């Protein structure tokens, strides 16, 4: 393969912290246990190590959000989500973020970590330590004790990797996340995300109907030149959604992620499929034990036009995980 290529598949890192000494002294910002106390310029230095730049920054009462040259970051009081694509070296953020969390927020204990990604389209283009999942696991194992690594799906087709810690979380939180990863997208729908056809990010957001997904969201969007699109949406109560689009037909890729809690995800997934019309897609649903009942997710969802390839359920220490992979029926 030669010529222009962009690896849309993101590396996704989520780290939750706790402090051995609780310090929520609001008069002393530098000591209170809150990741949003980390100065923004230091976060940007970490992002430089990962090889991405901040394009947009905004904050709400609960969340600091960054639209990046390669995807997104969300920073909450006790956890952060960092999602980066292309040839970024996301795992280079881990050690510096642990140090910043300790020095600026008093967070000296990692409560849980999730690192995941789908199989790269062109793994040979990735930089160390992302050259293989085994190398990524070795890198994380050099930092964390009790790491466990999983692969879901078919390793000779499309699969999805996860690294987490084999430990019980100390903090009681209600956390659940849906990720929809789509490939082989409808070229007509993808035209929206080219500057040739659409003059601004907000126009792309409206044309695609992304603004209708969560009508009360504050949207921070970006349209790349000549094509490509990223957006972060902030909702009340620390909820968010984020969409990233690589529209080039030879390697088209779209991801959708949200922590908005649902007791069944079928309807939101159907809306996403209608907007993007992918040839193949993967859904991953994570829910901790305090999350809205996830029992209904155990049943395989059915989507017209799509056939199921795989459906796997993994019961982790505090979390249940549902992985499903679908492919469009031949027309």
Ligand X SMILES: C[S@+](CC[C@H](N)C(=O)[O-])C[C@H]1O[C@@H](n2cnc3c(N)ncnc32)[C@H](O)[C@@H]1O
Per CB under 6 A, contacts with ligand X among 47-76 are 69-71
- Tell me the Ramachandran region of residue 289: left when phi exceeds 0, alpha when psi lies from -120 to 50, beta otherwise: alpha
Per CB under 6 A, contacts with ligand X among 69-108 are 69-71, 85-86
255 binds ligand X (CB under 6 A): yes
Which residue from 64, 248, 257, 288 is in contact with ligand X, where contact means CB under 6 A? 248
The number of angstroms, rounded, from the C-alpha of 163 to the middle of its chain's C-alpha atoms is 14
230 binds ligand X (CB under 6 A): yes
Report yes or no: 223 and 190 within 8 Å, Cβ to Cβ. Answer: no
Which residue from 244, 260, 268, 269 is in contact with ligand X, where contact means CB under 6 A? 244
Stretch that binds ligand X, among 19-27, 143-151, 154-162, 225-233 (CB under 6 A): 225-233
Token digits for 91? 């795992």
Rounded Cα distance between 82 and 322, Å, is 21
Helix locations, 16-93, DSSP H: 40-50
Letters for 176-215 (x = contact with ligand X by CB under 6 A, - = none) are ----------------------------------------
Which residue from 90, 227, 291, 294 is in contact with ligand X, where contact means CB under 6 A? 227
Entry field: residues in the chain: 331
Q: Is 6 annotated as a binding residue?
A: yes
Stretch that binds ligand X, among 27-35, 130-138, 249-257, 269-277 (CB under 6 A): 249-257
Distances (CA, A) of 139 to 16, 45, 90: 19, 21, 12
- The size of the interface with ligand X (CB under 6 A), counted in residues, is 20
Least Cα distance to 297 among 273, 322, 274, 279 occurs for 322
**At its nearest, how many Å lie between ligand X and the CB of residue 242?**
10
Which residue from 120, 133, 224, 241 is in contact with ligand X, where contact means CB under 6 A? 224
Stretch that binds ligand X, among 55-63, 146-154, 208-216, 222-230 (CB under 6 A): 222-230
DSSP string, 79-140: EEEEEE-TT--GGGGHHHHHHHHHHHH---EEEEEEEEEEPPS-GGGPPTTTTSHHHHHHHH
Per CB under 6 A, contacts with ligand X among 260-319 are none
**At its nearest, how many Å lie between ligand X and the CB of residue 72?**
9
Instruction: Point out the annotated binding site for substrate.
Output: 6, 70, 224, 248
């Amino acid at each position: 393969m030669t010529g222009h290529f962009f690896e849309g598949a993101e590396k996704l890192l989520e780290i939750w912290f706790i402090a051995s000494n609780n310090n929520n002294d609001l008069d002393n910002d530098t000591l209170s246990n809150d990741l949003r106390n980390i100065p923004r310029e230091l976060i940007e230095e970490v992002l430089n190590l990962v090889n991405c730049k901040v394009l947009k920054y905004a904050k709400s009462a609960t969340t600091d959000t960054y639209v990046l040259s390669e995807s997104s970051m969300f920073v909450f009081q006790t956890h952060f989500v960092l999602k980066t694509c292309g040839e970024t070296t996301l795992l280079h953020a881990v050690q510096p973020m642990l140090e910043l969390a300790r020095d600026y927020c008093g967070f000296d204990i990692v409560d849980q970590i999730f690192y995941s990604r789908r199989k790269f389209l062109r793994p040979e283009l990735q930089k160390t330590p992302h050259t293989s999942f085994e190398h990524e696991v070795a890198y994380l194992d050099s930092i964390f004790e009790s790491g466990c690594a999983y692969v879901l799906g078919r390793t000779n087709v499309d699969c999805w990797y996860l690294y987490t810690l084999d430990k019980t979380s100390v903090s009681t939180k209600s956390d659940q996340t849906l990720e929809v990863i789509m490939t082989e997208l409808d070229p007509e729908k993808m035209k929206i995300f080219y500057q040739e056809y659409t003059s601004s990010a907000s126009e792309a957001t409206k044309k695609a109907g992304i603004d209708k997904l969560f009508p009360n969201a504050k949207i921070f969007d970006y349209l790349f030149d000549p094509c490509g699109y990223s957006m972060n949406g902030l909702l009340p109560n620390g909820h968010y959604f984020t969409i990233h689009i690589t529209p080039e037909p030879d390697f088209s890729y779209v991801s959708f992620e949200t922590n908005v809690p649902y007791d069944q995800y079928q309807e939101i997934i159907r809306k996403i499929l209608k907007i993007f019309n992918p040839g193949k897609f993967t859904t991953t649903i994570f829910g901790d034990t305090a999350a809205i009942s996830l029992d209904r997710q155990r049943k395989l969802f059915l989507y017209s036009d799509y056939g199921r390839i795989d459906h796997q359920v993994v019961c982790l220490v505090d979390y249940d995980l549902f992985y499903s992979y679908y492919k469009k029926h031949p027309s």
